[in-house]
Structure 1
Amino acid sequence: MKIRDYRKYFLEKLTPLYDSMEAERFFAIALEELKGWKRSDLALNPDAQLSGGDMEKWNDVLAALETQKPIQYIFGEAHFYGLEFEVNENTLIPRPETEELVEWIISENNVKGSINIIDIGTGSGCIAIALAKNLTDASVSAIDVSEGALATAKRNAVHNKTSVNFILKDILAADELPQQYDVIVSNPPYVRNLEKEEIKENVLQYEPHLALFVDDNDPLIFYRKIALLAKKWLSPNGRLYFEINQYLGPETVQMLEDLGFTNVVLKKDMYGNDRMIGCGL
């Protein structure tokens, strides 16, 4: 089959499940992963033939997409802040909104020289590794409760040529952090069970619920615990940063202020949603 004809077939199969732009994006990703081509290569070679072996690989990808499996899991990789990360069933897929949090941290700390940073609930390691890559004088550590996530994060650190100290720890059971830090950052679980109906089916089916959901009765449990630890382990003039539930911005700000944090800044993401908080003591 000619590749242009397969593209038509691929898009026709997916458009009942995805909008046309997303289906086109999936085709472009598969084209690069399976054939090493850009869209311009397809435009120049529309009559190129797919072999039987090629067709089998394409059909496997198509079948997985029809089950709504995220394409990042199909190919086992995602891009974040200009870096490439392995992702799997142990890790969330990095989101563009989290890149905005990383950009904020870098912009506020890129002239401070040697600093200590810890990322709590690191998952794939995307936040910690992006910070280590861009704040080259920083000493970066990262905590997660999942052994599988930490194993993935360690491979990602090696792949991206960064040095990060990874620690296996359940932060909710922790009484202390290893040392004082100039930056404490966390993107912890924050989706309430009552919000599940808003979550896309591909997320519910494939991404780790341990990293996503919190009990409706105490949705700020991770934020409160990390903030309490930060009161002791955040260095003078240090900053605590969170990615947050868009529906709980004012409540999270109030909780931090009640605990004695100052200069609490609530920022919106690119979509206009309350998404991140920075504060000090």
Structure 2
Amino acid sequence: MKTVKDVFEQFKIGLADVYDPQESEAIILLILSDLLNTSKAKLKAFPETEIGFPQAEKLTSILQELKTGKPVQYILGHTEFYGLNFKVSPAVLIPRPETEELVQWIIETVKQSESPVINILDIGTGSGCIPISLKHNLLNINAFGIDISTDALEIAKQNAESNKANVNFIEADILNFPGDIALPKFDIIVSNPPYVTLEDKNKMHTNVTDFEPHTALFVPEDDPLIFYKVIADFAKTNLSSNGLIFFEINESFGTETIELLRERSFRNIELRQDMSGRDRMIKAQI
């Protein structure tokens, strides 16, 4: 019978061409803790723990999928974001830690506000991780999410239900937003829009470029800030007086994103770095 230690060795060898040893270990711990319903600390402390035949078979199947570069989150079908569990599939981007930092910034901002009720809209909501996390942590908000993808919105609705968060989801293309959709004025508009250029793509891991939804990732080489321009224009019309816009950005275009917001008369523009020290988030006021 296999032990936890055997699985670690098998996976590290099997994934040597796909991941470095540190990444492999993190993936193995994630899979085993999920499959065996135990903590990562316990797995490390008791490497001789035996693994039953059904789980061993499942692990062999998972390893084959991982070898193709398929992200572990898609294989397991869920991931954690801001302390909550989110269903994910190849229809949605896998939520990233830097987006948690953006959510934290919004929560801090709302908590400093004295408004009794705040309307928040997330554009390009994907799995719904941003509005669901905000709604879960802030009592005084009405949360909305827009996405172009029917499949993504289906996942988002399931995530809202499982996390007991009331979020209003709307299917629409922000680049061609229909004039007949009635929306309230928003106090905050947030977006983590597509911003990956062809140059960025060439540096990225194939588990992103081959598996995650391209419509949520990539932008035209000749207009990499297209979504930021359109969303900023949308925000000028749909934000309430003194309303705020929050963006997650491409670290290579911090200055340019600030400039396009200035051109549209946004003020109090603040650029923040993520925990890795990269320009990653912007806040601005209408």
Indicate the TM-score class for this superposition, using the shorter chain for normalisation.
over 0.9
Partner-residue secondary structure (3-state), 1:78: strand
Alignment of 1:26 with 2:30, yes or no, is no
Which position in structure 2 is the counterpart of 1:117?
Answer: 120
Matched with 1:261 is: 266
Question: Aligned-pair distance for 1:20?
Answer: 1.4
Q: Are the structure 2 counterparts of residues 108 and 49 from structure 1 closer, same or farther at C-alpha, using a change threshold of 3 Å?
A: closer
Name 1:53's counterpart in structure 2. Answer: 54
Identify which of 194, 199, 202 aligns with 2:199. Answer: 194
Residue type matched to 2:188 in 1?
Answer: V
Deviation for aligned residue 1:48 = 4.0
Q: Is the 8 A contact 2:197 2:218 kept in 1?
A: yes
The question of whether the paired residues in 1 share the 8 Å contact of 2:93 and 2:212 is answered with yes
Q: Distance in 2 between matches of 1:214 and 1:42?
A: 41
Is the CA contact (8 Å cut-off) linking 2:2 and 2:56 kept in structure 1? no
Q: CA deviation at 1:218?
A: 0.9
Task: Give the Cα separation in 1 of the matches to 2:235 and 2:45.
Answer: 56
TM-score of the aligned structures, taking structure 2 as reference length = 0.94
Query: Sequence identity of aligned pairs in percent?
Result: 46
Partner of 2:229: 224
CA distance 1:38–1:244, change in 2 (3 Å): same
**How far apart, in 1, do the equivalents of 2:105 and 2:250 lie?**
17
SS in 2 for 1:275: strand
Unmatched segments (≥5 aa) in structure 2: none
Residue 2 (1) aligns with residue 7 (2): no
Within 5 A, what are the aligned runs for 1:169-248?
169-174=172-177, 178-248=183-253
Deviates more, 1:194-203 or 1:161-170: 194-203
Shift of 1:43: 5.2
Which whole-Å deviations, capped at 9, do the CAs of 1:28-73 have from their partners, x for residues lacking one?
1111121112244445654444343222101011111111111000
Cα offset for 1:175? 5.5
The Cα offsets for residues 131-189 of structure 1, whole Å up to 9 and x where unpaired, read as: 11111110011100000000000000001110000000111111656121000011111
Counterpart CA distance in 1 for 2:47 and 2:255 is: 53
CA separation in 1, counterparts of 2:227 and 2:152?
Answer: 18
The equivalent of 1:144 in structure 2 is 147
In the other structure, the counterpart of 1:275 is: 280
Matched AA of 2:22: M
Q: Which residue of 2 aligns with 1:76?
A: 77
C-alpha distance 43-231 of structure 1, shift in aligned 2 (>3 A)? closer
Q: What TM-score, normalized to structure 1? A: 0.95
Q: How many residues align?
A: 281
Find the partner of 1:153 among 153, 156, 159. 156
What value does the CA root-mean-square deviation take over the aligned residues?
A: 1.5
For 1:128 and 1:42, how far apart are their aligned partners in 2?
A: 34
- C-alpha distance in 1, partners of 2:46/2:229? 56
Local SS of the residue matching 1:94: coil
Partners of 1:159 and 1:88 in 2: how far apart?
A: 16
Q: Distance in 1 between matches of 2:109 and 2:138?
A: 11
Structure 1 pair 9–251 and aligned structure 2 pair: CA distance change class (3 A): same
1:110–1:2 distance in 2 versus 1, CA, 3 Å: same
Task: Give the 3 Å change call, closer, same or farther, for CA 239–16 of structure 1 in structure 2.
Answer: same
Deviations along 1:64-84, one digit per CA (max 9) or x if unpaired, are 111111100000111111111
1:250 alignment partner in structure 2: 255
- Distance in structure 1 (CA, Å) of the matches to 2:36 and 2:263: 55
Encode CA deviations 1:168-217: one digit per residue, 9 max, x unaligned.
01111116561210000111111112221111110011000000001011
Helix, strand or coil at the partner of 1:132? helix
Number of the residue aligned with 1:36: 37
Larger mean Cα displacement after TM superposition, 246-255 or 190-199:
190-199
Q: Secondary structure at the match of 1:214?
A: coil
Task: Kindly indicate whether the alpha-carbon contact (under 8 Å) linking 2:128 and 2:145 is maintained by their aligned counterparts in 1.
Answer: yes
Can you list the C-alpha shifts for 1:68-108, whole angstroms capped at 9, x where unaligned? 11100000111111111001011000011111111111111
